Amino acid sequence: APEADLAGRHVVVSAGGTREPLDPVRFLGNRSSGKQGYALARTAVARGARVTLVAANTALADPAGADVVRVGTALQLREAVLKAAADADAVVMAAAVADFRPAAYADGKIKKKDGEEPAPVALVRNPDILAEVSAERSREGQVVVGFAAETDDVLANGRAKLHRKGCDLLVVNEVGEAKTFGSEENEAVVLASDGSEVQVPHGPKEALAEVIWDQVVPRLAPRRA
């Protein structure tokens, strides 16, 4: 059995990809399956944590022993994460959150009209949930972990993102149409705000999840009485 080094801890993990509706039948979305976040939830349960898994549009079975909160949009994910984070020792944002959502929602299906140019889709910004959780730190000593999904200049972009978002750890992974998204495997670099940098070679998403918890545990605040 693994060491129960997360016993007595509450951790929040977000997983999956948000969908931003345009009309009753269409949305803007991304390719996240939720597998990396679910691997984080499963490994945290195995290490003794109480786990809240905020799952956006995933088609995966609920991990045994985790409390699963299902959400659709970035705004719903924000609400669920902030609520669960209030008494969390660690928050890990593995979800792929849409940076923008359609400015308007059409109550009926948007129709194409003969001879008309398609109308551009106006977008507005979604709140940055990771930056908000990092700034808020609802519990003293809360460890906040972000992910960075990059397609190029992976490390340089990751470092900049770590500082911009204000989190303690940032897991930088490379993504593409068939890379990382949906796959059983991942490879990443875990950057820390204190300058440390851990390379995680290509392997199962569980293995990366374990390394992330290995990096979280020594940074947690002392257990309360």
Please give the annotated binding residues for CTP, written as ranges.
99, 109, 127-130, 147, 161, 165
CB nearer to ligand PMT: pick between 7 and 135: 135
Q: Choose, by CB under 6 A, the member of 6, 9, 33, 191 that binds ligand PMT.
A: 33
Taking alpha carbons only, the member of 55, 66, 64 closest to residue 32 is: 55
Active site residue 173: no
Expressed in percent and rounded to 5, the helix, strand and coil fractions of the chain are 25, 30, 40
Applying CB under 6 A, the span of 33-41, 102-110, 192-200, 217-225 interacting with ligand PMT comes to 33-41
CB nearer to ligand PMT: pick between 6 and 13: 13
Q: Does 43 bind ligand PMT (CB under 6 A)?
A: no
What Cα–Cα distance (Å) separates residue 42 from each residue in 36, 177, 196, 205?
Answer: 10, 26, 26, 11
CB nearer to ligand PMT: pick between 121 and 124: 124
Taking alpha carbons only, the member of 136, 81, 101, 114 closest to residue 30 is: 101
Q: Does 128 bind ligand PMT (CB under 6 A)?
A: yes
Strand-pairing partners, residue 20, are: 28
Instruction: Enumerate residues 183-222 that contact ligand PMT by CB under 6 A.
Output: none
Residue 109's identity, in one-letter code, is K
Instruction: Enumerate residues 98-117 that contact ligand PMT by CB under 6 A.
Output: 99
Q: Choose, by CB under 6 A, the member of 36, 57, 134, 142 that binds ligand PMT.
A: 36
**8 A C-beta contact, residue 200 and residue 188:** yes
Draw the binding track, 146-175, toward ligand PMT (x: CB under 6 A; -: no contact).
xxxx-----------------------x-x
Applying CB under 6 A, the span of 5-13, 32-40, 41-49, 105-113 interacting with ligand PMT comes to 32-40
Sheet holding 50-56, edge to edge: 66-71, 50-56, 10-16, 90-93, 143-150, 169-174, 185-192, 197-204
Q: Choose, by CB under 6 A, the member of 181, 210, 212, 216 that binds ligand PMT.
A: 181
Question: Binding site residues, as ranges?
Answer: 99, 109, 127-130, 147, 161, 165
- Give the CA angle between residues 17, 61, 56 to the nearest 5°: 20
DSSP string, 47-108: TT-EEEEEEES--SPPPTTEEEEEE-SHHHHHHHHHHHHTT-SEEEE-SB--SEEES---SS
Closest contact distance (angstroms) between CB of 125 and ligand PMT is: 8
Question: Where does this chain bind ligand PMT (CB under 6 A)?
Answer: 32-36, 74, 93-97, 99, 126, 128-130, 146-149, 173, 175, 180-182
User: Which residues are known catalytic residues?
Assistant: 30
